[in-house]
Amino acid sequence: TWQRSKVDQIQLVCLIYERDVKQYGFSEILKPFLNDVKKLENGVDINLGQEIIHLKGSIIAVLADNLGSHEIGANNTNMFDKYEKRTKASYCRDVNETINKKQACRGVKANSYLNSLQHYHICDSGLPPCIAHDWLEGVLQSDLSLAL
């Protein structure tokens, strides 16, 4: 866990044009990447000279601005508060209701394609809030103006 705080462990996966997201959707654009992560979750053998090491890995979190995070999480992009107290069970109920009614239910438009990974779910703090937007441009700005 000590590696999680190291900046050099953060890796950029891709930069995507908004027009491509609208045309193809996140699921199609990230499909090759997610297929690679699924292989890594099952493990890969690395040959280190005389020794073969079986390594496994997965995603801990996906960082994005709030709008991007809403889109990646398959939430309504006009939702003010996506960080409601949601469990995997309540999320699955909302996804099923969305599928049955063919319309968004409690802010959920679909099941996030990221949830297809074995060790990742958006309800497990997999989509942390954008601190720059929430704190630096939101809470601190308004609170500091009131304090001054």
Q: What is the pLDDT of residues 77-97, one digit of tens each?
A: 665 555 566 788 888 888 888
Is 5 among the domain residues? no
Domain range for 113: 14-142
Q: Is the pTM of this model over 0.75?
A: no
Is 2 among the domain residues? no
Is 147 among the domain residues? no
CA 140, distance to chain mean position in Å, is 25
Helix (H) / strand (E) element for 48: namely strand 44-48
- Domain count along the chain: 1
- What integer is the mean pLDDT of 27-54? 93
Is 93 among the domain residues? yes
Closest to 41 (Cα-Cα) out of 20, 53, 55, 30: 55
Alpha-carbon Rg for the chain in angstroms: 18
Supply φ then ψ for residue 73, to 5 degrees: -80, 0
